[in-house]
Amino acid sequence: MSYDVVVIGAGIVGAAVVHRLRQLWPEGRFLVIEKAQGPAAHQTGRNSGVIHSGIYYKPGSLKATLCAKGREQLYAFAAAENLPHERCGKLILATDPTELPRLEGLYRRGLENQIPGIQLLKPEDIPHYEPECRGVGAIYVPVTGIIDYRAVTQRLLERGGAQVVYGAEVTHLMRAPDGYRIHTSQSARFDTRYLIACAGLQADRIARLDGLRPPLRIVPFRGDYYELRPEARWKVRNLIYPLPHPTYPVLGVHLTRMTDGSVEAGPNAVFAWAREQYSRVGFSLRDTVEALTFSGTWRFFIRHWREGLAEYRRAFSKRLFWESLRRLVPSLTLEDLVPARSGIRALALTQDGQFWDDFYFVSQERSLHVLNAPSPAATAALALADAIVEKAFATWNLSISAPTVGP
Ligand SMILES: Cc1cc2nc3c(=O)[nH]c(=O)nc-3n(C[C@H](O)[C@H](O)[C@H](O)COP(=O)(O)OP(=O)(O)OC[C@H]3O[C@@H](n4cnc5c(N)ncnc54)[C@H](O)[C@@H]3O)c2cc1C
């Protein structure tokens, strides 16, 4: 059978793309090819489960605009589909007076990004929101929420009505006169007129299979989590974050209530020796060689050696992890924390060692590649999918209202 569009990757971005395609093209024949045995197996199913507000991002960037739009689309989708979620709000804390100018800067950015209802709190206001929290100031962000992204992904795939093939890794993309022949590890082949690749941690490799020379390399960064023992969950009502690091591309270890009532702490961010192995000692020769023979990785290490070293020490020390968290919630004890799961972020680095700080997708004659979809891509997925499909259709000369008349 031949398809109109094949989507590579059943993470939340691929699922949202199929969902959007179905809205625009009810009769379309769509296929999702996923190498894992189920949906959301990598970044999507291993993330923090937070619906971000959009406060952090550069005003006018794709991250800022698509996060704000996607956040509300996601709340509406979750409500309509009865999926576990809650608009519970979060606190961003300054714990040291030297952080106050940065806190105020972030608050101003939030106003510029038109984040609804944000408030700058004095120290005495903080316990009203989080009784166990202490800080010298805070921002309260009421539109932040929590959700089960695995459930969202599953439901988007169902509503997208695509056929999904699991356990099939795309290994070759052969150009044909009217599209692609896609080869997979199952030795199955699929013919399609168009292709959209949403391959997360493998995005650069899939782009290279399609003859592109992306200006970035995916370098994996692992994030480890701890969980609070059930008896200690009362210490955290909702979401408690530190101020993000000014230059290192992470939000800092935070405390997150999950939709099942558990409370997680993390994630940290350390260079990982494999793109898709989740233990602290996971190793892939191919992934390591590709990361360490790329000059951008070394330039990134040199630029951020201090933060990288601190993250590495903390990755192997429960006490250091606890000390970071205790700055937010002083009553947390070392015994409250139990080691939990890990996730791996796809950090897109340029040759000169900068991280690519916005969503990035490129289209060509019959394909579109999502090359960078970092946090808050899960929050933004529905809006991101709108933008991806719009760009793809424009490049492919497909009319949005009647795409079947295209070539
Ligand atoms: C630790 C962590 C915490 C995060 N927290 C949040 C948060 O709270 N809120 C938020 O909005 N964002 C968060 N993010 C970011 C968010 O999870 C990701 O941006 C988002 O999930 C990216 O989705 P994706 O579909 O692009 O990638 P993925 O979920 O990684 O999916 C890509 C899929 O492509 C498949 N694939 C790859 N190569 C092939 C191939 N050759 N053949 C077939 N299939 C292939 C993979 O198996 C995978 O299933 C977090 C990320 C991490 C890692």
Q: Which atom of ligand 1 is nearest to the CA of 256?
A: 8
Q: Which atom of ligand 1 is nearest to the CA of 267?
A: 1
Q: CA-CA distance, 90 to 153, in Å (whole number)? A: 24
What is the per-residue pLDDT for 246? 83
What is the per-residue pLDDT for 400? 64
Residue 374 CB–ligand 1 contact under 6 Å:
yes
Q: Crossing angle, helix 377-396 and helix 62-80, to 10 degrees?
A: 110
175 has which bridge partners? 180
The residue behind tokens 């990288």 is 308
Q: Which atom of ligand 1 is nearest to the CA of 185?
A: 42
Q: Which residue minimizes the CA distance to atom 13 of ligand 1?
A: 375
Residue 13 CB–ligand 1 contact under 6 Å:
yes
- pLDDT tens string, the chain, 407 residues long: the values are 799 999 999 999 999 999 999 999 999 999 999 999 999 999 999 999 999 999 999 999 999 999 999 999 999 999 999 999 999 999 999 999 999 999 999 999 999 999 999 999 999 999 999 999 999 999 999 999 999 999 999 999 999 999 999 999 999 999 998 999 999 998 889 999 999 999 999 999 999 999 999 999 999 999 999 999 999 999 999 999 999 988 887 888 999 999 999 999 999 999 999 999 998 889 999 999 999 999 999 999 999 999 889 888 888 899 999 999 999 999 999 999 999 999 999 999 999 999 999 999 999 999 999 999 999 999 999 999 999 999 999 999 998 664 443 43
The 3-class secondary structure across 75-91, one letter per residue, is HHHHHHCCCCEECCCEE
Contact 349, 294 (CB under 8 A): yes
What is the per-residue pLDDT for 247? 82
Q: What are the structural domains of the chain?
A: 2-45+150-215+358-405 (3.50.50.60), 87-144+217-350 (3.30.9.10)
Distance 11 CA to ligand 1 centre (A): 5
What is the per-residue pLDDT for 407? 38
What would the two tokens of residue 152 be? 């969202």
Residue 345 CB–ligand 1 contact under 6 Å:
yes
Residue 266 CB–ligand 1 contact under 6 Å:
no
What would the two tokens of residue 262 be? 């558990």
- Which residue type does 147 have? I
Residue 41 CB–ligand 1 contact under 6 Å:
yes
For the chain, what is the largest distance between any 2 Cα atoms, rounded to a whole number of angstroms?
Answer: 68
Number of C-beta neighbours around residue 407 at 10 A: 10
Residue 385 CB–ligand 1 contact under 6 Å:
no
Number of C-beta neighbours around residue 310 at 10 A: 16
167 DSSP assignment? S
Q: CA-CA distance, 358 to 378, in Å (whole number)? A: 14
What would the two tokens of residue 364 be? 């060509």
Tell me the best of 35, 47, 341, 360 to mutate to test the pocket of ligand 1, counting ligand atoms within 8 Å of each CB and taking the most. Answer: 47
What would the two tokens of residue 85 be? 């979620």
What is the per-residue pLDDT for 293? 95
